[in-house]
């Protein structure tokens, strides 16, 4: 089968099927063999692995994954791509294609069925508008994961990796770092895609933590506090939480913040994951 990482082969397939790119699905297909090899290498895929690929497109990366993995499950939302995938992946007997919205698929059940509940590896070239819901969906659904190796918008990759005090630090940073250790693999310029996106991309690998980074009594409350803290970044932590509909009065919130951080006018962007865990545990004492 022709290597779709070579631009001419991709164009040939697109013309053969008279394929039209769908803006609503954020479709940008990789056409650079070096980047494809780098992604598969970074994902550390072996013949023992089941790989879940989200958004295979015309099967460019899927071909590489099929060569490296024991089994590949590719989830593609665009029904117009299914006949193309059946063609471009016809040489492989270790791949199955699911025509579905990944947010509606029970990935945990899929991992149980295909991999006996052992950790799977996820690889994806994600549409930028849906990056966060997909990543958080995988983490929060308690899917058995080893790692997620993904292509995302450059600034989103930086957001996942940043620490307190940076302008890129926010709710996404804390959520990703609660569940995983993010590692930036490579920057990918727009000319590596067809059609060319307007922004630079980055490959980032999220290595799932075997144990949680912090112990917290109420995970949902901690993430609620995190979201409230970054909803209006210029506000103090006290004002953000007071206006966030928490069942705790302003004075109590202020006292808790002063007790924990010795600074009642501190902002959310100054707090670490451990700080938010401590804040959540303390405020939980006042929420009945």
pLDDT 10s digits, 195-237: 999 999 999 999 999 888 899 999 999 999 999 999 888 899 9
pLDDT tens-digit series, residues 146-181: 999 999 999 999 999 999 988 889 999 999 999 999
Long-range contacts of 73-82 (CB under 8 A, 24+ apart): 73/98, 73/110, 73/114, 74/98, 75/100, 75/102, 75/105, 77/25, 77/101, 77/102, 78/22, 78/25, 78/27, 80/19, 80/20, 80/22, 81/19, 81/56, 81/57
CA 43 vs CA 120, 123, 204: distances in Å: 11, 7, 10
pLDDT of amino acid 116: 93
pLDDT confidence tier of residue 47, bands split at 50, 70 and 90: very high
pLDDT confidence tier of residue 2, bands split at 50, 70 and 90: confident
Which sequence spans correspond to the domains of the chain? 7-208, 219-284
pLDDT of amino acid 174: 96
pLDDT confidence tier of residue 288, bands split at 50, 70 and 90: confident
Task: Using a pLDDT cut of 70, give the percent of the chain over it.
Answer: 100
User: Partners of 206 in the beta sheet?
Assistant: 148, 182
Using DSSP, state whether 74 is helix, strand or coil: strand
E strands present in the chain: 29-30, 50-54, 71-76, 95-99, 120-125, 145-153, 180-188, 193-194, 201-208
pLDDT of amino acid 234: 84
Measuring CA to CA, which residue among 263, 182, 266, 280 is closest to residue 227? Answer: 280
Is the pLDDT confidence value at 192 over 90?
Answer: yes
Distance, in Å, from the CA atom of 256 to the CA atom of 75, rounded to the nearest integer, reads 46
pLDDT of amino acid 207: 97
Q: What is the mean pLDDT of the chain?
A: 93
E strands present in 55-177: 71-76, 95-99, 120-125, 145-153
pLDDT tens-digit series, residues 93-151: 999 999 999 999 999 999 999 999 899 999 998 877 788 899 999 998 889 999 999 99
pLDDT of amino acid 23: 78
pLDDT of amino acid 166: 87
pLDDT of amino acid 217: 95
Q: Is the model's pTM score more than 0.85? A: yes
pLDDT of amino acid 169: 94
pLDDT confidence tier of residue 268, bands split at 50, 70 and 90: very high
Let me know how long the chain is. Answer: 288
Phi-psi region of 199 (alpha: psi -120 to 50; beta: other; left: phi over 0): beta
Neighbouring CB atoms inside 10 A of 37's CB total 12
The CATH code of the domain at 219-284 is 1.10.8.100
Contact, 280 vs 257, CB < 8 A? no
pLDDT tens-digit series, residues 5-31: 899 999 999 999 999 888 788 889 999
Is the pLDDT confidence value at 282 over 90?
Answer: yes
pLDDT of amino acid 124: 94
Is the pLDDT confidence value at 287 over 90?
Answer: no
Domain 7-208 has CATH 3.40.50.150: yes
pLDDT of amino acid 175: 94
């Amino acid at each position: 089968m022709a290597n779709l990482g070579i631009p001419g082969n991709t164009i040939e397939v697109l013309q053969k099927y008279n394929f039209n790119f769908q803006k609503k699905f954020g479709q940008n297909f990789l056409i650079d063999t070096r980047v494809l090899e780098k992604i598969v290498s970074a994902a550390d895929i072996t013949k023992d692995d089941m790989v879940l690929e989200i958004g295979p497109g015309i099967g460019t990366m899927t071909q590489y994954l099929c060569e490296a993995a024991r089994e590949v499950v590719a989830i593609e939302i665009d029904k117009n791509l299914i006949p193309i995938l059946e063609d471009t992946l016809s040489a492989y007997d270790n791949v199955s294609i699911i025509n579905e919205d990944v947010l509606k698929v029970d990935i945990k059940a899929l991992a149980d069925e295909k991999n006996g509940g052992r950790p799977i590896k996820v690889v994806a070239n994600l549409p930028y508008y849906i990056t966060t819901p997909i990543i958080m969906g995988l983490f929060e659904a308690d899917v058995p994961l080893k790692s997620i190796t993904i292509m995302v918008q450059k600034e989103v990759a930086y957001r996942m990796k940043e620490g307190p005090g940076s302008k890129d630090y926010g709710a996404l940073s804390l959520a990703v770092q609660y569940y995983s250790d993010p590692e930036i693999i490579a920057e990918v310029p727009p000319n590596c895609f067809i059609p060319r996106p307007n922004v630079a991309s980055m490959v980032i690998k999220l290595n799932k933590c075997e144990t949680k980074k912090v112990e917290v009594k109420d995970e949902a409350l901690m993430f609620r506090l995190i979201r409230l803290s970054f909803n209006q970044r210029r506000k103090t932590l006290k004002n953000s939480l007071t206006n966030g509909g928490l069942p705790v009065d302003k004075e109590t919130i202020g006292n808790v913040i002063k007790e924990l951080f010795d600074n009642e006018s501190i902002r959310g962007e100054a707090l670490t994951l451990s700080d938010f865990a401590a804040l959540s545990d303390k405020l939980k004492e006042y929420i009945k």
